[in-house]
Structure 1
Amino acid sequence: MIAYKGIHHVSLVVRDLERSVAFYKKVLGLQEIERPPFDFKGAWLAIADGGQQLHLIVHEGQTLRDGAIDSRDGHFAIRVGSYKDTRAWLDEQGIAYDARPHAKAGFPQIYILDPDHNIIELNADFCDE
């Protein structure tokens, strides 16, 4: 049996590193952290204080999507403190989203796209709207 401690990081492929770093820092409030000197462009960002990270990797291959928000496509989820405040922040930032306050999952969900159409789910413990 494997004794898990949690998710360390999620890696996403991006086309324009500077644009993506700006999005994750400005829209989601993640903090850029030190990254080893790999032989390819990328950036690491911290998600909260628990050691979880998002790794952005520049890649020009066919792994990138161009479609709209599709919650059944590959994505990662970040738990937020307030569903209502998150929606208000996304509105203020002009970010399009798919809001599901009474999702079948049993907790409210918001789906957004980053600049490279990577899907991000923001969810909360309960709907505070």
Structure 2
Amino acid sequence: MIEFERLHHVSLAVRDLERARRFYSEVLGFPEIERPPFRSKGIWYAVGADQQLHLLEHPPGETLRTKGIDTTDGHFAVWVKSHRETAAWLESKGINYEARPESVAGFAQIFILDPDHNIIEFGAPYNS
């Protein structure tokens, strides 16, 4: 039997690494961490205490999404302290989002798209 400990990282394909860096570093404020010297281009971020987000530059092609938010598509989720504060912050940055403050998921949800149409979910306690 496999003994799982935790999710280590999520990798996303991006078309333009510098555009992705501006979004994840400057807009969302994810802290960049050192990445090994792979032959591929990429950026790694710390997400919380011991999880990571890896962005990998990928040439344009059919593997990347082109449509809007579809919450049944693959995505990654980050837990935040406040649904209201996260929505307000996204609005201040001009980021379109889909909010579900009373989601049947058991917690409030907000969904956004990055510049390559990767879906990001922010989960928070109800009424936060």
TM range (shorter): over 0.9
Matched position secondary structure for 2:77: strand
Deviation at 1:5, TM superposition (A): 1.5
Give the conservation status (yes or no) of the 8 Å contact 1:107–1:127: no
Mapping for residues 42-121 of structure 1, pairs under 5 Å:
42-48=42-48, 50-60=49-59, 61-121=61-121
* Unpaired runs of at least 5, structure 2: none
2:31 & 2:40 partners in 1: Cα distance? 20
Deviation at 1:53, TM superposition (A): 0.4
Matched position secondary structure for 1:122: strand
Deviation at 1:81, TM superposition (A): 0.8
Deviation at 1:26, TM superposition (A): 2.1
Matched position secondary structure for 1:43: strand
TM-score w.r.t. structure 1 length? 0.94
1:17 & 1:110 partners in 2: Cα distance? 24
Greater displacement, 97-106 / 57-66:
57-66
Deviation at 1:28, TM superposition (A): 2.1
Cα deviation code 1:66-119 (max 9, x no counterpart): 101111111010000111110010000000000000011111000000000000
TM-score w.r.t. structure 2 length? 0.95
Aligned-CA RMSD value: 0.9
* Unpaired runs of at least 5, structure 1: none
Cα deviation code 1:3-40 (max 9, x no counterpart): 22211100000001011011111232211110011111
2:125 & 2:27 partners in 1: Cα distance? 21
1:29 & 1:80 partners in 2: Cα distance? 13
Counterpart of 1:40 in structure 2 is: 40
